[in-house]
Amino acid sequence: MSEMMQEKYAPGTHPDWEPPATEVGVIGWMRENLFSNWRNSALTLLGVYLVYLIFVPLIDWAIVNADWAGDTRDACTSGGACWVFVKVRFNQFMYGFYPAEEYWRVNATAVLFALMILWLTVPRIPLKRVAGVLTLFVFPIAAYFLLGGGVFGLSEVETTRWGGLTLTLILAVVGIVAAFPLGIILALGRRSEMPIVRALSVAYIELWRGVPLITVLFMSSVMLPLFLPEGVNFDKLLRALIGIILFQASYIAEVVRGGLQAIPKGQYEAADALGLSYGKKMVLIILPQALKLVIPGIVNTFNELFKDTTLVLIIGLLDLLAIIKAALEDSNWLGYSIEGYVFAGAVFWIFCFGMSRYSRALERKLHTGHKR
């Protein structure tokens, strides 16, 4: 009898043995997670009340009572958020002081970039290697000439006119793309068996990690020109970028080193025993595993780098935050700083959240079911 039942039903699916209704589904979940005892129930109710306290006025201010129409502050009468301010200044927030008739060049660069990212991240699209080469080597050159101009009949736009979200994204993307490989090289250098290489890597990492980014930016914009020969003066944006890259590389190096240390010695030995050279061993065996382990740390560093780009405002580069701050000084729009900062925060949040989501998807994709 019992043997027949075992044949008919997979374990746990017998129709006569269904769990009680209070233990499954929505009710079961709520009972177990929200109202399992009186303390848990009290905390649940308190939590709901806090959410109510915070979000109802917020939504009221930001959406229900907000003003969207109009072009001047006179349009803002309802007492809610005055998004008119953001709307009127929107182009400046996005493009800085880039000439309005040339906005299409920034847009084209952004679309190109978005397409490359899609190609790289959507698994179904083939030829990832081609996409990688294009993104790393062809796209930056194209973007540089598209934004800077001066060739192919495009009028020249000096970097001092670049600003807003455009500048923020340039700083962040170039910073991330350049600091990442430099950080990996430093991490490998710090674990090298060659004493000079190791000492140089340690010295570099400890020096750059020990100074605040603000100091680095000040040095790059104020002190560096003093040491350059007269007449030599290179772009302030480029100097800030170099400062950010060299600074962040030291952080990435330490994150990657953590991953390298977590790889068991046996992996190195197996690669050695097969006759792989140092470079092949690292690129094919060690780094893929080490980088996968430290994805959360790397994305954390990228997020920080993205937000740290706002510090360039102290050397007079007008990134998104700096240009919003500048707009707030406008006597026509005094008193709308909350709207400005909420907008800035929302834009930064969208990009950082996007990176986090992608990193989680990547972690799931790279999980091959192995345990150590």
Tell me the C-alpha to C-alpha distance, in Å, between residue 58 and each of 62, 66, 75, 329: 6, 11, 21, 25
Closer residue to other proteins, CB minimum distance, 216 or 271: 271
- CA 129 to CA 138: how far, in whole Å? 13
Which span sits near other proteins by CB under 8 A: 12-20, 212-220, 248-256, 288-296? 288-296
Q: Give the number of other Cβ atoms within 10 Å of residue 218's Cβ.
A: 16
Closer residue to other proteins, CB minimum distance, 23 or 269: 269
- Half-sphere exposure for 131 (CA within 13 Å, toward CB): 16
Fill in the per-residue mask, 124 to 153: x = in contact with other proteins (CB under 8 A), - = not in contact: ------------------------------
Tell me the C-alpha to C-alpha distance, in Å, between residue 48 and each of 40, 44, 54: 12, 6, 10
Closer residue to other proteins, CB minimum distance, 292 or 325: 292
Number of shown-chain residues binding other proteins (CB under 8 A): 24
Least distance CB 271 / other proteins (angstroms): 8
Among 242, 255, 253, CA closest to 292: 255
For residue 164, the cross-strand partners are 319
Least distance CB 263 / other proteins (angstroms): 10
Residues 291-320 that bind other proteins (CB under 8 A): 292
Closer residue to other proteins, CB minimum distance, 167 or 294: 294
Q: Does 288 bind other proteins (CB under 8 A)?
A: yes
Least distance CB 287 / other proteins (angstroms): 10
**Residues ≥6 apart with Cβ < 8 Å to 325:** 313, 340
Phi, psi at 162, each rounded to 5°: -75, 145
Amino acid at 126: P
Closer residue to other proteins, CB minimum distance, 160 or 267: 267
Which span sits near other proteins by CB under 8 A: 26-34, 209-217, 264-272, 325-333? 264-272
- CA 277 to CA 250: how far, in whole Å? 26
Measure the CA dihedral 56/61/64/65, to 10°.
Answer: 140
The single residue among 138, 270, 314, 346 that binds other proteins, judged by CB under 8 A, is: 270
The single residue among 171, 179, 260, 285 that binds other proteins, judged by CB under 8 A, is: 285
Residue bearing tokens 């009898």: 1
Distance of CA 110 to the CA centre of its chain: 16
Least distance CB 366 / other proteins (angstroms): 7
The single residue among 276, 295, 342, 362 that binds other proteins, judged by CB under 8 A, is: 276
Distance of CA 279 to the CA centre of its chain: 29
The single residue among 45, 274, 338, 361 that binds other proteins, judged by CB under 8 A, is: 274
Amino acid at 53: L
Q: Does 266 bind other proteins (CB under 8 A)?
A: yes
Residues 21-80 that bind other proteins (CB under 8 A): none
Closer residue to other proteins, CB minimum distance, 271 or 323: 271
Closer residue to other proteins, CB minimum distance, 13 or 368: 368
Closer residue to other proteins, CB minimum distance, 108 or 276: 276
DSSP state of 229: P
The single residue among 158, 206, 269, 330 that binds other proteins, judged by CB under 8 A, is: 269
CA torsion through residues 132, 134, 136, 139, sign: negative
Least distance CB 362 / other proteins (angstroms): 13
Q: Does 371 bind other proteins (CB under 8 A)?
A: yes
Q: Does 267 bind other proteins (CB under 8 A)?
A: yes
> Which region holds residue 231: left if phi is over 0, alpha if psi is between -120 and 50, else beta?
left
Least distance CB 258 / other proteins (angstroms): 17
Measure the CA dihedral 121/127/132/138, to 10°.
Answer: -120
Q: Under the rule (CB under 8 A), what is the footprint of other proteins?
A: 264, 266-267, 269-277, 280, 284-285, 288-289, 292, 366, 368-372
